[in-house]
């Protein structure tokens, strides 16, 4: 069954920002959707960036690995859905969303700490047993 992820709508009046880039503390972002528990698509709302650099770019949550929606077994798929639901719920109810310490990962995605109202979502997913710590090395199977 194909999976398109979830659209993430921030609550009315909520603000999303990118923190830690260049010398400014915050840049506005828009979260469009999350594909799985550790990857979302965002737009950097910086008027000085051309769309090719900041429009609909994948962002990977730093420091974690979540189960894959196209995983090897039903248990992995079920856990992947839980991780995605958890992430989307936190983003949808947040008044403020920040991307802290962005950097490029080995696949050239933007990689950083996603904070919802100051809560590190990578750590929250680990605490909820929906993600594992990940440092970029070999991933362990979830099945």
Confidence (pLDDT) at 21? 39
In a domain, 34, yes or no: yes
Whether pLDDT at 132 is above 60: yes
The pLDDT score that the predictor gives to residue 4 is: 47
Residue 67: alpha-carbon gap to chain centroid: 14
Task: Tell me if 27 sits within 8 A of 21, measured CB to CB.
Answer: yes
Is the pLDDT at 103 greater than 80? The verdict is yes
- 60 inside domain: yes
Inside any domain, residue 138: no
Q: Which two tokens stand for residue 29?
A: 């972002």
pLDDT, residue 10, reads 52
Instruction: Look at residue 23 in the predicted model and tell me its pLDDT.
Output: 40
Q: pLDDT tens digits, residue range 39-71?
A: 999 887 777 878 887 888 889 999 999 999 998
How confident is the model over 12-42, as pLDDT tens digits?
Answer: 555 555 444 344 444 567 788 999 999 999 8
Residue span of the structural domain in which 94 resides: 9-133
Q: What is the pLDDT of residue 40?
A: 93
pTM confidence score:
0.79
pLDDT confidence of residue 2: 42
CA distances from 7 to 72, 73, 90, 96 (A): 25, 25, 13, 17
In a domain, 111, yes or no: yes
Question: How many separate domains does the chain show?
Answer: 1
The pLDDT mean for the chain works out to 81
The closest alpha carbon to 29, from 19, 94, 131, 63, belongs to: 19
Does 143 map to a domain?
no
pLDDT (0 to 100) of residue 107? 78
Q: State the CATH number of the domain containing residue 34.
A: 2.40.50.90
How many residues make up the chain in this entry? Answer: 143
């Amino acid at each position: 069954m194909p999976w398109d992820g979830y659209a993430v709508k921030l609550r009315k009046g909520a603000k999303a920002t990118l923190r830690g880039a260049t010398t400014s503390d915050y840049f506005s972002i828009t979260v469009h959707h999350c594909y799985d528990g550790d990857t979302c698509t965002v737009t950097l709302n910086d008027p000085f960036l051309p769309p090719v650099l900041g429009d609909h770019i994948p962002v990977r949550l730093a420091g974690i690995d979540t189960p894959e929606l196209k995983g090897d077994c039903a248990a992995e798929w079920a856990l992947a859905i839980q991780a995605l639901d958890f992430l989307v719920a936190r983003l949808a109810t947040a008044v403020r969303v920040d991307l802290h310490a962005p950097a490029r990962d080995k696949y050239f995605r933007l990689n950083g700490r996603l904070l919802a109202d100051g809560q590190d979502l990578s750590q929250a997913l680990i605490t909820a047993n929906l993600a594992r710590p990940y440092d970029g090395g070999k991933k362990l199977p979830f099945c």
